[in-house]
């Protein structure tokens, strides 16, 4: 039973790391990253469909994304959705492909992005600590119902704390790596 609670906590913490990685991938760090378009969907025959499912997205240069749609008639719709999104890039359409040119980041914008990355990291840490709290509450309930001994509870809580520290360190490393990427480009 103790192991089940531990494994569940480990899985939830692992999912938090995956969400963090996805969020960090969407933060523009000066170079063109196709993941920035992940949340943008287009009405494709009545179904809201991500852009990467109706065409190819390539990055031939560090600050350029090229979107080649399988159906050129979809270009105006995709262009419109990119304009409505919050990525802050104006698409350029030559009738065959859509180009997104990413401008150089100013020092001020880099600092804003670093703050954003720190905030995303902090939210992930809060999620990890919440998982720890839930696991510890479960151990306390098990102790109250005499399912485990006091010593087993202390050992289990210690194990959960070690797991929490491990995942917090992973978050710090991911955030630091992203901040470095933002500041150096």
**Cβ atoms within 10 A of the Cβ of 144, count?**
10
The closest alpha carbon to 5, from 151, 168, 142, 130, belongs to 142
Place of tokens 């692992």: 14
- State the pTM of this model: 0.69
The closest alpha carbon to 98, from 117, 120, 77, belongs to 77
> Are the C-beta atoms of residues 64 and 99 closer than 8 Å to each other?
yes
Are both 41 and 92 inside the same structural domain? yes
56-71 pLDDT, tens digit each: 999 888 888 999 999 8
Are both 44 and 135 inside the same structural domain? no
Are both 116 and 176 inside the same structural domain? yes
Strand 64-69 versus strand 98-101 pairing type: antiparallel
66-108 pLDDT, tens digit each: 999 998 898 999 999 888 887 778 889 888 899 988 877 788 8
Are both 111 and 97 inside the same structural domain? no
Residue 52's pLDDT band, with cuts at 50, 70 and 90, is: confident
CATH of the domain at 143: 1.10.132.20
Number of domains in the chain: 2
113-145 pLDDT, tens digit each: 899 999 999 999 999 999 999 999 999 999 999
The closest alpha carbon to 91, from 143, 122, 55, belongs to 55
């Amino acid at each position: 039973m103790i192991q089940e609670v531990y494994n569940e906590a480990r899985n939830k913490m692992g999912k938090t790391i995956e969400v963090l990685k996805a969020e960090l991938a969407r933060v523009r760090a000066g170079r063109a990253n196709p993941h920035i378009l992940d949340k943008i969907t287009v009405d494709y025959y009545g179904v809201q469909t991500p852009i990467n499912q109706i065409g190819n997205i390539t990055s031939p240069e560090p600050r350029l994304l090229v979107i080649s749609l399988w159906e050129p008639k979809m270009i105006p719709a995709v262009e419109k959705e990119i304009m409505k999104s919050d990525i802050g890039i104006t698409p350029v359409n030559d009738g065959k492909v859509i180009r997104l040119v990413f401008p150089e980041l100013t020092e001020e914008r880099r600092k804003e992005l670093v703050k954003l990355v720190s905030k995303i990291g902090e939210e992930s840490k809060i999620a990890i600590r919440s998982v720890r709290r839930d696991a510890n509450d479960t151990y306390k309930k098990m102790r109250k119902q005499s399912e485990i001994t006091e010593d087993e509870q202390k050992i289990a809580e210690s194990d959960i704390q070690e797991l929490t520290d491990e995942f917090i360190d992973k978050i710090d490393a991911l955030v630091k790596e992203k901040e470095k990427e933002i500041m150096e480009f």
